[in-house]
Amino acid sequence: MDPLTITVHTDVDQRSAEWHHSYRAGRVGGSEAKIVVSGKTGNETAAKRDLRTIKALEQCGIQQPVQSYMSADMQRGVEREAGARAGFEFLTGCMVDEVGYVSCNSISAGCSPDGLIGEMLDEKISGVLEIKCPRPANHWKSIRLGAKGLAGIPTIHHPQILHTLAITGRECLAFCSYAPEMGIELELYIRYVFACDLDVKERINKYMVTLTRFLEEIDKEAEEIKLAIKGINSPPVQPQKEKICLT
CA distance 88 to 153: 17
| Dist. CA 93–CA 29, nearest whole Å | 29
The pLDDT tens digits along the chain (247 residues) read 667 899 999 999 999 999 999 999 999 999 999 999 998 777 899 999 999 999 999 999 999 998 777 888 889 999 999 999 999 999 999 999 999 999 999 999 999 999 999 887 777 899 999 999 999 999 999 999 989 999 999 999 999 999 999 999 999 999 999 999 999 999 999 999 999 999 999 999 999 999 999 999 999 999 999 999 988 777 777 777 666 665 5
pLDDT for 1: 61
For the residues of 110-158, what is the DSSP string, one character each? EE--SEEEEEETTTTEEEEEEEE---HHHHHHHHHH--SGGGGS-GGGH
Quote the DSSP letter at residue 185. T
- The per-residue b/e assignment along 37-49, b for 16 or more CB within 10 angstroms, e otherwise, is beeeeeeeeeebe
Element (H, E) at 208: helix 198-231
pLDDT of 244 reads 61
Instruction: Tell me the C-alpha distance between 72 and 51, whole Å.
Output: 23
What is the pairing mode between strands 125-132 and 172-178?
parallel
Residues 192 and 152 sit within 8 Å (Cβ to Cβ): no
Amino acid, single-letter form, for residue 166: A
* pTM > 0.75: yes or no: yes
Question: How many CB atoms lie under 10 A from the CB of residue 148?
Answer: 13
pLDDT of residue 231: 80
